[in-house]
Structure 1
Amino acid sequence: MNALFRVITLLLVSIGTCFAHPGTIHITFISPNPDDQDFWGITHNFARASAKDLNIDLDIVYSATNRYAYLKNVRQACASIDKPDYLVAVFHRAIAEDILFIAEECQIPIFMVNAGIPKEDKATIGNIRENYKFFIGHMAPSEHFAGYLLGKQLIKSARDKSLSDTIEIVGISGRRDGPEALARNEGLKQAAREQNVLLHQIVFADWSGDKAGKQAAELIKRYPNVSIIWAASDHMSINVKNTIDRVGSSDKVITGGIDWTKDGINAVRSGLLEASVGGHFAELGFTMVLLYDHYHGIDFISEYPSTIYSEMHLLSRENIAQHYDFITNQDWEKVDFTRFSKAFNPDIKQYDSSFDNLNQ
């Protein structure tokens, strides 16, 4: 790690104080996107409802998509005079260790969410609380499984619709440096291998709907017999579907996405998309529960000594009616988040953050 970077970090940290908010828990989340980004908007609002129930002062800091701008926000949060009790952040490639180093130097417990540890950093980061003792927890979606689940469902749908004798697929993914996008891609590849279908190519659209739509048009030209365009997000998938309709391929090409955005779920219900995989919007909200308990002396490490993999679920036309109202209304204020906490409920033996338990 750059020596100058370490010096700057230590100087910034020394500016802050070691005092947290009296009488309440102060948590800062460094978000990679603002509220108007579909998935992150749901994630933030769910977490706000959880924090409110648990009397947590949750500060969400929005970052630009540039990872170094993200790192700057992490550094500023740690150097703040009003330093948080806990920091929550998202792993990015090339700065994963830098994020943990900052938390270590300012001695703020940090909990990572939403993305796995980048492959190239796993050896040096090690296990939770091993090489970085303030790295107290990690929750990430089963991204590989999400990509696999979507790919398998799209292949099934293509076969059910008899779109082609030979199923051909192309994929449109997120960022090249995003561990979540790369893991979803691997899931698609596994589904294609298992189902013995032809996966031509996976391209990267940087999570941009407009770029995904343009790429879809080029891919349909390049592979005229393609019957599935797999997309790594609902937002991109909807734009892909618009392109499919515009070029006159709606009777032979299908698509689906990941994230369970409101638009994505409505698109599944209306038949525009074949499926959406999601549920991981709840991660940040359940992290609030774990940190609340940790603050009150109940350490989740005994139950979760390693990464917590949040469940991913498939919504398709077959089961959309069962969950539609709960997911699209997004009335998280009706959820009593204290019922998930061991501090509030000493009889709880094991945490249950499953979607089925949430939707009760």
Structure 2
Amino acid sequence: MLKVLCACVWVMGVTFGVMAHATSVVFLNPGTSTETFWVSYSQFMQAAAKDLGLDLRVRYSGRDPQNTLQQARETLQGSPRPDYLVLVNEQYIAPQILRLSQGSGVKLLIVNNALTVDQMQLLDAGKYSNWIGSIVADDEQAGYLMLEDMLRQYGETKPGQSLDLLAFSGVKNTPAAQRREEGMRRALGEHPDVRLRQVVYGEWNRQRAFEQATQLFKRYPQTALVWSANDEMALGAMQAAQEAGRTPGKDVLFSAVNSSSEVLGARIDGRLSTLVAGHFTTGGWAMVLLDDDAHGVDISLHGGRDREEALFQLIEPEQARRLQAINASQQYNVDFRALSAQGKPESYRYPFSLQLLMH
């Protein structure tokens, strides 16, 4: 009788163990654990993972690609290994991680910075069967929207008048920075009255952008527009303008990307004229894709293997207040399970959008 009872308990334990196993995910976050954007990015991922029943672990590299590679090595060669590894092609490191993943049994998804065309050609990407695809926001659109909206707010220029523009891009060898810059240049091509005086690489850093802007405002005193590829660089450049006796939002129009509480405040009070945001949600949407893949859905049938989503939108003051409230509460009120492609026809497309949070 005791043997039968023990056997029953053992079978129940095994069954429960199988049922209790959650799909495990490691995210190699390229930022720091104090960096507003990357922390908010991870928080939204965790909310999605919790809703979907995924076991998500986030590892921060502190902006050091060598740290990321070491973390990838530990994840892919250690034990136990996760079911999925989510990574960013920051500073072009994705191909090395793909090579490390061979034979690991871990599936890979790339977010935020996809492989470049050159990397795809050099890598022979087809041989990595464990790489299930990528999801990125349309960074070119973000760069374009920022300059277009600043020019809309500036208004018509007089015949023969030109506007001086300064641009603060991110890290030079990061695809997102390059794509945002391409969008800015597309807008420039449509506005011959705008003179791009200089592009500098602020490396996403406020202090660096402040120091660069301090020199640039001296060099180009007629600067009317400042385009920045993230919030930190915009805030640094705005500080430099104020110290030079200029008034952001009046004497000089500034634009930025991201949705930190500080930059949302600058949009609300008018110091920042143009803000685009939304791509902090990319990691959360990635969790939906991974959960579907884990349930046998061919996610490539619902929008392609490598997807570029229109996640950026212009943030007006009213929306900035809504995002501030979301930042403060970390209550996203998104039904991630409802976004799944499970049981849906092939024509179904994931409706990923910032609007899902803004209702």
When normalised by structure 1's length, the TM-score is 0.86
Give the whole-Å Cα distance in 2 for the aligned partners of 1:75 and 1:52: 26
1:20-169 equivalences under 5 Å are: 23-125=21-123, 130-159=126-155, 165-169=161-165
Q: Please give the per-residue CA displacement for 1:274-331, whole angstroms capped at 9, x wherever unaligned.
A: 1111211111001111111111111211123332112243335xx3314632454233
Do the aligned partners of 2:227 and 2:255 also contact (CA within 8 Å) in 1?
yes
Displacement of 1:36 in angstroms is 1.8
Q: Which amino acid aligns with 2:118?
A: E
* Alpha-carbon spacing, 1:50–1:327, altered in 2? closer, same or farther (3 Å): farther
Residue 71 of structure 1, CA deviation: 1.1
* TM superposition shift of 1:150: 0.7
**Is the aligned partner of 1:294 residue 2:293?**
yes
Does the C-alpha gap of structure 1 residues 321 and 94 become closer, same or farther in structure 2, counting only changes over 3 Å?
closer
Relative distance call for 1:22 and 1:253 in structure 2 (3 A) is same
- Aligned position for 2:199: 202
Is the aligned partner of 1:242 residue 2:239? yes
2: CA distance, partners of 1:310 / 1:349? 15
Q: Distance in 1 between matches of 2:95 and 2:350?
A: 29
SS of the residue corresponding to residue 127 of structure 2 reads coil
CA, structure 1 residues 224+323, in 2 after alignment: closer, same or farther (shift >3 Å)? closer
Structure 1 position 119, deviation (Å) = 4.2
Distance 2:71 2:44 in 1: 22
Pick closer, same or farther for the CA change 1:161–1:233 going to 2, 3 Å.
farther
> What does 1:316-327 correspond to in 2, within 5 Å?
316=315, 319-322=316-319, 324-326=321-323
Letter in 1 for 2:41: T
* Unaligned stretches of 5+ residues in structure 1: 1-19
Return 49-58 or 330-339, whichever deviates more: 330-339
Separation (CA, whole Å) in 2 of partners of 1:277 and 1:113: 19
Q: 1:96 to 1:21 in 2, by over 3 A?
A: farther
Q: d(CA) in 2 for partners of 1:70 and 1:300?
A: 27
Within 5 Å, give how 1:214-233 maps onto structure 2. Answer: 214-233=211-230
Q: Secondary structure at the match of 1:39?
A: helix
Seen in structure 2, the aligned counterparts of structure 1 residues 167 and 71 have a Cα distance that, compared at 3 Å, is same
Distance 1:286 1:90 in 2: 14
TM-score, length basis structure 2:
0.87
1:64 is displaced (CA, Å) by 2.6
Distance in 2, matches of 1:314 and 1:226, equals: 26
Q: Give 1:110 deviation, angstroms.
A: 0.1
How far the C-alpha of 1:355 sits from its partner, in A, is: 2.1
Aligned-residue offset at 1:82: 1.6
Aligned residue in 2 for 1:3? none
Given that 1:189 and 1:199 are in contact with CA atoms closer than 8 Å, whether structure 2 keeps it comes out as no
What is the percentage of aligned positions where both structures have the same residue? 26
Deviations 1:121-141 (A, max 9, x none): 1312356xx232111010112
Report what 2:168 is aligned to.
Answer: 172
In the alignment, the residues of structure 2 paired with residue 138 and residue 75 of structure 1 have an alpha-carbon distance, to the nearest angstrom, of 20
Unaligned runs of 5+ residues in structure 2 are: 1-17
Instruction: Return the index of the structure with the highest Cα Rg.
Output: 2
Q: Matched residues in 2 for 1:21 and 1:33: separation?
A: 34
For residue 175 of structure 1, report the CA deviation from its aligned partner: 0.9
CA distance in 2, matches of 1:357, 1:58: 22
Please report how far the alpha carbon of residue 176 of structure 1 lies from its aligned counterpart in structure 2 after TM superposition.
Answer: 1.5
Structure 2: distance between partners of 1:346 and 1:191: 39
The verdict on how the C-alpha distance between 1:244 and 1:105 changes in structure 2, with shifts beyond 3 A counting, is same
CA separation of 1:302 and 1:145: change in aligned 2, threshold 3 A = same
- Alpha-carbon distance in 2 for matches of 1:307, 1:126: 15
CA contact (8 A) 2:299 2:305 kept: no
> Per-residue CA shift, 1:163-187, capped at 9, x if unaligned?
x931110111111221111111111
8 Å CA contact 1:34–1:40 kept in 2: the answer is yes
What is the root-mean-square deviation in Å for CA atoms of aligned residues?
A: 2.4
- Structure 1 residues 327, 101: CA separation in 2 closer, same or farther (over 3 Å shift)? farther
